[in-house]
Amino acid sequence: MWKRMIGGDFSRPVQRMPGPKEIRRQIAFESDLDATFGERIARKAYGEKLFSCIQCGTCSGTCPVSHYMDYTPRKIIAMVREGFREEVLHCVTIWLCASCYACTVDCPREIKITDVMYALKQEAMAQGVYPRRFAIPVLAREFFRGVERNGRSNELPLMLRFFLKTNPLQMLRNAPVAWRLWRTGRLSLRQERTRHRSSVRALLRAAKAAEEEGAS
Amino acid sequence: MSYWYYPGCSLKSNGKPYEESLLAVFRELDTPIWELDDWNCCGATSYMSVDETQAFSLAARNLALAERAARQAPEKGPPRLLAPCSACFLVLTKTQRYVAQHGDLARRVHAGLQAIDLEYQGVVQVRHPLDVFVNDMGLRRIAKAVKRRLNGLKVACYYGCQVVRPFATFDSAHDPTTMDRLVEVLGAKPVRWPLKTRCCGGALTGTIPDVGLRLSEILLRDAAQRGAEMIITVCPLCQFNLECYQQKIGRAFRDSTPLPVLYLTQLMGKAFGISDADLGIRRLFVSPEPAFARHEGGQPAHA
């Protein structure tokens, strides 16, 4: 819907008279938006400066993956600020960000755009609004669980779980690489673990409790 | 000087050649490093997408462990934590900055650490090997350790994203030069390479291969076009993407000249005359031997 609003075809009027159910308004009203979304994300992302964005587009220009995104980073900032919560949380842009920090370094207004993307990912994860089997959040979630269990990340079980939960066929396609890693001793069956795993878990619990305490 | 060593998960698995060569090079340079006991995952990029408080707390535990280790063994000097993996280096540095700047985050992190009887005071210094080689040891000392000059071997120095961005603590964020200066001292010739800090694709090579592999391919092709005989890197994920996916990239994008991708420490070790076995050279997918052989017959540095 947002796409139609910004990239719509303005060249010709419609040929056919629309049926009564096809008549819809073409712009968003303020009441459709989430007025506090921008502030929430700004606070989460240490980004008070989010609101001083001048829409120069340096972030989109410097981003190595912007040409694959549905909304460029510049648009994301504008949409977050105006409260387009649903559009932003459902877009693919936030997941394509590979955290290379190029935009953060170059932003003339010193907006921490990478942190904004993290805040949006966290929000989308918390609300579960990404497509099922979509690879990137699945990897993040599985990584999280592995570290919670062992204190360290282990590539082999991580990759197995990841492929099972996304696309098991990909496992076959990656088998040659895995085989060579195995042959060169770069893939280990031995699980790396932190000695005091219970201390890692206690730490994560206590930090989370302190967060909830602060929020209430 | 001496350092506490934080390997991170990658250097224990696919980044093993990085760990092996790093330890060998530090041994050769008579600089003791001790692996931090009981370390845990730094939190990395993935964890940050799920839970921020927990991601920062994980990193802070390592910082607190390093400070405690230094308190318990004062003879080993002040806490300097060597983080060779780019992602670990970034996350640890970022945690230090953000905990110092943001009161509420600090409160959460300290509460977590307190629950496991640890304390983070903020005195530990997080250091990257590039920084240590150039600023602590100095190029002159590195030059003295060279036994076999690399005789004009052309290399593309690849810094990747997260070593110099976003904080640029020891080198420029836009045009870093520490690695270029280091390889020059070894006798190699760094090619001019504007893409030296462009993203390799990171985890996207696994999650969305069409996007991730393309990013890696851009780097490989450009390095080859500039006449580089190998790419040198300091990040286990960059090394993995650029080397291990090379066949796949070749197939996907019809460009299949194999280009060796070595860790900086492997190249240093070669110039120091350390054996291939100690440098993990045999663990590489693309052999660097033909490239080294082209430049054989080098005179010892100070004969």
Taking CA atoms, what residue in B is nearest to A118? B49
- CATH 1.20.1050.140 at B3-127, yes or no: yes
Q: State the nearest Cα–Cα gap between A21 and chain B, in angstroms.
A: 38
Give me the residues of B, 226-285, that contact A with CB < 8 A.
244-245, 247-248, 282-285
CB contact under 8 A, A96 and B173: no
Taking contacts as CB-CB distances below 8 angstroms, the residues of chain B near A171 are: none
Give chain B's radius of gyration (CA, Å).
19
The pLDDT of B186-203, averaged and rounded, is 96
**How does pLDDT run across B48-79, given as a tens digit for each residue?**
888 999 999 999 999 999 999 999 999 998 99
Residues of B in contact with A186 (CB under 8 A): 13-17, 283
Is the CA virtual torsion A189, A155, B81, B147 positive or negative?
positive
| pLDDT mean across residues, chain B | 94
Tokens of A121: 């990912």
Query: For chain A, where do the domains classified as CATH 1.10.1060.10 start and end?
Result: 32-127
Q: Which of A152, A162, A207 sits opposite B108 (nearest CB)?
A: A207
B contact test, residue of A204, A212, A216 with most B CBs within 10 A: A204
Q: Give the E-state strand segments of B89-223 in sequence order.
A: 125-127, 154-158, 189-190
What is the least distance, in Å, from the CA of B222 to any CA of chain A?
15
Please give the average per-residue pLDDT across B252-277, as a whole number. 91
pLDDT value of position A132: 75
Q: What CA–CA distance (Å, rounded) separates A163 from A167? A: 5
Residue range B114-127: mean pLDDT, rounded? 97
- Asked if B47 lies within 8 A of A98 by C-beta distance, the reply is no
pLDDT of residue A9: 46
> Which contiguous run of DSSP H or E holds residue B81?
strand B80-82
pLDDT for residue B22:
98
Segment A179-203, tens digit of pLDDT: 999 999 999 888 899 999 999 999 9
Judged by CB atoms closer than 8 Å, whether chains meet at A96 and B112 is answered as no
Residues of A whose CB is below 8 A from B262: none
Tokens at B113, concatenated: 């650490």
ipTM: 0.92
Do B160 and B200 meet the contact criterion of CB atoms below 8 Å apart? yes
Residue B252, pLDDT score: 78
Q: What percent of chain A has pLDDT over 70?
A: 93
Give the whole-angstrom CA distance, residue B259 versus residue B226: 12
A144, A161, A167, A189: best to mutate for the B interface, most B CBs within 10 A: A144
Whether the model clears a pTM of 0.80, i.e. scores above it, the answer is yes
Q: B295 or B21: whose pLDDT is higher?
A: B21
% of chain A at pLDDT higher than 90: 64
Work out the pLDDT band at A12, boundaries 50, 70, 90: low
Confidence at residue A5, expressed as pLDDT on a 0 to 100 scale: 40
CB contact under 8 A, A139 and B215: no
Residue A140 has pLDDT above 80, yes or no: yes
pLDDT number for residue B302: 45
* Intervals of CATH 1.20.1050.140 along chain B: 3-127
CATH topology of domain A32-127: Fumarate Reductase Iron-sulfur Protein; Chain B, domain 2 (1.10.1060)
In this predicted structure, what is the pLDDT of residue A4? 42
Residue with tokens 């000249």: B257
Nearest CA in chain B to A137: B49
Average pLDDT of chain A, as a whole number: 88
User: Where in chain B do CATH 3.40.50.11810 domains reside?
Assistant: 139-294
Find the closest chain B residue to A105 by CA distance.
B166
User: Rounded distance, CA B156 to CA A127, Å?
Assistant: 43
pLDDT > 80? residue A176: yes
Closest CA to A103 of B194, B202, B166, B219: B166
Mean pLDDT, to the nearest integer, of B88-98? Answer: 96
- Contact call for B285 and A184, based on CB within 8 A: yes
Model confidence band, residue A22 (pLDDT cutoffs 50, 70, 90) = confident
Residues in Cβ contact with A166 at an 8 Å cutoff, skipping those fewer than 6 apart: A133, A134, A135, A138, A139
For residues A202, A205, A206 and A210, what is the CA-based torsion angle, rounded to 10 degrees? Answer: 170
Strands (DSSP E) along B139-284, which ranges? 154-158, 189-190, 230-233, 261-263
Above 80 in pLDDT, residue B301?
no
Task: Give the count of alpha carbons within 13 A of B122, CB side only.
Answer: 11
Topology annotation, domain B139-294: Rossmann fold (3.40.50)
